[in-house]
Chains A and B, each alone.
Chain A
Amino acid sequence: QVQLVQSGGEVKEPGASVKVSCKASGYTFSTSDINWVRQAPGQGLEWMGWMNPKSGNTGYAEKFRGRVTMTRDTSTNTAYMELTRLRFDDTAVYYCVRGLSGSLVLGNRFDPWGQGTLVSVS
Chain B
Amino acid sequence: QSVLTQPPSVSGAPGQSVTISCTGSSSNLGAGYGVHWYQQLPGAAPKLLIYGNNIRASGVPDRFSGSKSGNSASLAISGLQAEDEADYYCQAYDYMLNGRQVFGGGTKVTVL
Contacts and interface: CB of A to CB of B under 8 A. Distances in A.
Interface of A: 35, 37, 44-47, 50, 59, 61-63, 65, 95, 102-116
Given A65-B98, A105-B32, 12 more contacts: A45-B89, A61-B99, A62-B97, A104-B33, A104-B34, A107-B93, A108-B33, A108-B93, A109-B34, A109-B48, A109-B52, A111-B57
B34 A112 contact: no
B23 interface: no
A102 B53 CA distance: 13
B63 interface: no
Contacts of B99: 47, 61-63
**B: interface residue count bin:** 20 to 34
Given A59-B100, A110-B38, A44 B45 contact: no
Nearest to B35: A105
28 contacts: A35-B101, A44-B89, A44-B103, A45-B46, A45-B106, A47-B99, A47-B101, A47-B102, A61-B99, A61-B100, A62-B98, A95-B45, A106-B34, A106-B55, A107-B93, A108-B34, A108-B91, A108-B93, A109-B34, A109-B36, A109-B48, A109-B51, A109-B52, A111-B47, A111-B48, A111-B51, A111-B57, A114-B45
